[in-house]
A and B are shown apart, each in its own frame.
Chain A
Amino acid sequence: MSGEAILSVRGLGVDYPVGRKLFPAVRGVSFDIRKGETFSVVGESGSGKTTIGRAILRVAPVSRGEILFKGERISGRIPAERERALRQGIQMIFQDPMASLNERAKIDYIVSEGLYNFRLFKDEAERRAKVEKALREVGLLPEFASRFPHEFSGGQRQRIGIARALVMEPELLVADEPISALDVSIRAQVINLMNRLKRDLGLTYLFIAHDLSVVRFISDRIAVIYRGRLVELAEAEALFARPLHPYTRALLSAVPLPDPEIESRRRFVVYDPSMHDYSKEEPEWIEAEGGHFVLGTPRELEAWSAGPGGAGA
């Protein structure tokens, strides 16, 4: 994993019109994703995590700030060639395998859709070869190309979605809750697949999720998001060993672990946002230790650092 940033998000703000007013789904989010790493953004519903992914792929409007891919701005108005490069360089995997494939199209078309859009093949034979390669890479048989989505199980459909993204030969994959809609026994298949692809193809992942305990297994670095703002960012193990922000602590204490003896000892900690008084002092994005960032005032940071250690076993 090299240290250079492949994706930079700077002060991203996304507002959604709700009736007359504007609802700020994302407020001033900044982070870098390094090439070859798995960077996870964890939050609950309404935290804005999905919106970040969509803003990167230009399917959600950016109201403030900018997003840079390999040094070039990809948010706002950009020339057509850059958009084209973006669509090939960054792709997305979706949450619900039952809704993310076009039921009335064959697998062949579904996987080739991106290729058709940008004419990424010389002739029919090359296109078919690319489709076959993508299907094999995700562990599906090439003969599946002539079938329809409803003939496949959830796990297989999710893998078709991954093949669809892979055929574009992207460098960065944004995975929006790719396993939460899958059965428990299928999740491992998809996780293993994603890890293997990362290794074999040198991919970088932005993994959006709501389950901290799952994210721990696959992530290099984790960012916690609450109501549109990042509250903590650290390397995976550091976050679990020393969670600083009270929301992170609450989140960690809330996630149940499949170990009854540990569970019987744990107590759930509630996060009350009104515990902060930001009327006098604005919170800053402070680096508590190397690479471990927290949103808070210096005084708060002192109090949190002195507190008890991690909630994860």
Chain B
Amino acid sequence: MSGRDDKRSQAATGPAKTAAAAPGAQTASGAAAAPILEAKDLSISFSLRGRRLRAVRGASLSLRAGETLAVVGESGSGKSVLSKSFLGMLDKNGRVDSGSILFGGEDLAAYTKERQWLQVRGKRIAMIFQDPMTALNPLKTVGEQIREAAALHRGLDRKTSRLAVLETLERVGIAEPEARYRQYPHEFSGGMRQRAVIAAAVACRPEVLICDEPTTALDVTVQAQILDLLKSLQKDFGMSILFITHDLGVVAKVADRVAVMYAGQVIEEGLSREVFYDPRCPYTWALLASLPQLGVKGEELYSIKGTPPSLFKEIKGDAFAPRNPKALLVDYEAEPPVFEVSPTHWARTWLLDPRAPRVEAPDTIARLRGRLEARAAADAGARGPGEGGKA
């Protein structure tokens, strides 16, 4: 528990830091690599049934080179819309209202022509979806589809691209690639289709791979294989992965860093360990505390009342306030700014303001930390005298 108090006092001396804390700030410890893809104060809205739906309201996140950043949120949080905007794939009735998307020295949010996107989409930033059938053409053989994409983006001739595809198919774990090359998508099982889609994305050697809930519709054992595959591909090709999901177990497995989204904003971002063991936003608390995997039998699970706010209306203050029993009056008045918890961890909550009262995280979080520290102590004990528990 002492570790947590240290962090608290760090945040308590906060005011000077808030002005300087821009998400994605570079510091010596923690974040090693430079951001390869960065969204800054992005706002995206849709015109729906005569009204304006603000799907993303000033979201900022940064993906560092070579890492896996998980974006966690529920339906309506804006995570899918945000990721689609990185590829210019918003629906026709959507538009980027303000903010910027920095990639390779350019601002993707300023792109107006399809021609500009063609240089990026598939070639430098690729995306895989929850349903592989949205990416696969049922009328063409799998091999041919992947070959076309690879040939186009890497400028290869027919023969070379075919070999590259066979190689990639093998690499993603599809046995008998020559036979499978000639097959059609409907002849593949769900897990194999997802592998084929990954092959298609990776065959073009993109710098960034965006995965939008790629394993949600798959069986648990297949999911584990696909996640392992993605990790090994990342290591081999040095891709940076943006992984969108609502499953905190998957996040724990794949993510180096985590960004939590709620009602169109990124409300907390940090290293995986920081977000799981030392979350600061009440929404993150609620999310973790309500997981049955972390529940104690016989006790009621912590449950969040109500539903996310309507994004058609202007939201005043903290979007999570109406559902937060520990909300402060200021949460209804003003939107919380970004507060820095550590050089690698920031959160948007008034609780980190020095004037805020001390609010305890739910028991579940404390239990999670407790187990971590117990394990660390056991390890240290087994190892003999050495480093103490690291929070």
A positions within 8 Å CB-CB of B: 44-45, 153, 155-156, 183-189, 191-192, 195-196, 210-214, 216-218, 250-251, 253-263, 268, 270-271, 313
Task: Give the interface of B toward A (CB within 8 A).
Answer: 74-75, 219-221, 223-225, 227-228, 246-253, 255, 272-273, 276, 286-288, 290-295, 297, 300-305, 307, 368, 371-372, 375
CA–CA, A210 and B222, complex, Å: 12
Across the interface, do A259 and B371 meet the contact criterion of CB distance under 8 Å?
A: yes
Complex CA distance for A259 and B219, rounded to whole angstroms: 21
Task: Identify 14 residue pairs between A and B in the complex whose beta-carbon atoms are under 8 Å apart, listed by A's number.
Answer: A183-B74, A183-B75, A184-B248, A185-B286, A188-B301, A189-B303, A216-B292, A251-B221, A254-B224, A256-B224, A257-B249, A258-B249, A258-B291, A260-B272
Return the 4 tightest CB-CB contacts between A and B, nearest first.
Answer: A256-B249, A188-B290, A188-B303, A254-B224
Most buried by B among A156, A184, A210, A261: A184
**Quick check: B290 and A210 within 8 Å, CB to CB?**
no
Known interface pairs A185-B74, A258-B276; A192-B219 also in contact (CB < 8 Å) = no
Q: Is the CB of B220 within 8 A of A251?
A: yes
Contact B292 A260 (CB under 8 A): no
Interchain CB contact (< 8 A) of A184 among B221, B291, B371: B291
Q: CB distance B287 to A256 under 8 Å?
A: no
Closest-CB distance, A139 to chain B (whole angstroms): 10
Contact of A258 among B225, B294, B307 (CB under 8 A): B294
Minimal beta-carbon separation of A242 from chain B (angstroms): 18
A268:B224 contact, CB within 8 angstroms: yes
Q: Which residue of B lies closest to A250 (CB)?
A: B221
Most chain B beta-carbon contacts within 10 A, residue among A185, A189, A210, A253? A185
Contacts of A189 in B (CB 8 A): 303-305
> Which residues of B sit under 8 angstroms from A257, Cβ to Cβ?
249, 252, 293
CB distance from B251 to the nearest CB of A (A): 7
**How far is the CB of B230 from the nearest CB of chain A, in Å?**
13
| A259 contacts B228, C-beta separation under 8 Å | no
Q: Which B residues touch A183, using CB under 8 A? A: 74-75, 246
**Contact among B251, B273, B293, B307 with A213 in the assembled complex (CB-CB below 8 Å):** B293
B291 contacts which chain A residues (CB < 8 A)?
A: 184, 188, 258
Specify which chain B residues have a CB less than 8 angstroms from the CB of A188 in the assembled complex. Answer: 290-292, 301-304
Query: Does A217 lie within 8 Å of B220, measured CB to CB?
Result: no
Candidates B221, B224, B307; contact of A155 at CB < 8 Å = B307
Q: List 11 extra interface pairs beyond A210-B220, A258-B276, CB under 8 A.
A: A183-B74, A185-B74, A191-B301, A192-B303, A216-B292, A217-B295, A218-B292, A258-B252, A260-B272, A261-B372, A261-B375
Q: A185-B287, A185-B290, A260-B252 are in contact. Are A45 and B219 (CB under 8 A)?
A: yes
Q: Are A254 and B246 in contact (CB under 8 A)?
A: no
Structural contact, B220 and A44, CB atoms closer than 8 A: yes
Specify which chain A residues have a CB less than 8 angstroms from the CB of B304 in the assembled complex. Answer: 185-186, 188-189
- Shortest Cβ distance from residue A64 to the other chain B in the assembled complex, whole angstroms: 27
Nearest chain B residue, comparing its CB with the CB of A212:
B220
Evaluate contact between B301 and A192: CB separation under 8 angstroms. yes
B20 → chain A, closest Cβ, in Å?
28
Q: How far is the CA of A1 from the CA of B45 in the complex (A)?
A: 54
Complex CA distance for A189 and B292, rounded to whole angstroms: 11
CB distance from B285 to the nearest CB of A (A): 11
In the complex, what's the smallest C-beta–C-beta distance from B387 to chain A, in angstroms? 15
- A217 in complex: contacting residue of B248, B273, B292, B302, CB < 8 Å: B292
Chain B residue nearest in CB terms to A189 = B303
Known interface pairs A211-B220, A213-B249. Does A268 touch B292 (Cβ–Cβ under 8 Å)?
A: no
Contacting residues, chain A, for B372 (C-beta < 8 A): 259, 261
User: Could you say which residues of chain A place their CB within 8 Å of the CB of B249?
Assistant: 213, 255-258, 263
